[in-house]
Amino acid sequence: MSPDDVVPDAPATGETSWFCCGSAWGPCGATGHGACGTCNSGSRQCAWPNTSDACFSITRPDRCGEDLLRRTCGHTFFVRNLCRTTEIAVTIADCGPQTDLWCGEQSCCSGSCASNRILDLTPSAFSAIGNLSSGIIPMAVHS
């Protein structure tokens, strides 16, 4: 069984922010296409901090107490804003966020809170579940 065949028993909760990649879209100018080479701000994609050993050595979610499974480029996640019921599918297109820079950071809404940035979404994906101007939202993610 490969690591991609393992499905977590429960969703991981944490914070998500957004980042620009690929072609110009919305608030983003043109930029690189991410670690997977496929990232595009106008697509529903994400960055995950454990896509490879090299990625993990930079992002270090373990330093914040996060035990995140290895997921590689193209893997599909389902993401839900904890403040809403909307859930979207996103695919991994980059490495990130650098979780260890924000250990203990917390965002809340209506009594639902989450800590530690464990996912970055493209603007297209983030705007499907939240307002870009909020910058960071609490979310649940599962495979």
pLDDT tens per residue across span 52-94: 999 999 999 999 999 999 999 999 999 999 999 899 999 999 9
Instruction: Tell me the whole-structure pTM to 2 decimals.
Output: 0.91
pLDDT of residue 8: 44
Residue 112 pLDDT class (50, 70, 90 cuts): confident
Evaluate whether 22 touches 34 at the Cβ level (below 8 Å).
yes
Q: What is the pLDDT of residue 110?
A: 85
Q: Report the chain's mean pLDDT, rounded to a whole number.
A: 92
CA–CA separation, 56 and 48 (whole Å): 9
Helices (H), 9-111: 53-59
- 121's enclosing H/E stretch is strand 117-121
CB 105 within 8 A of CB 142: no
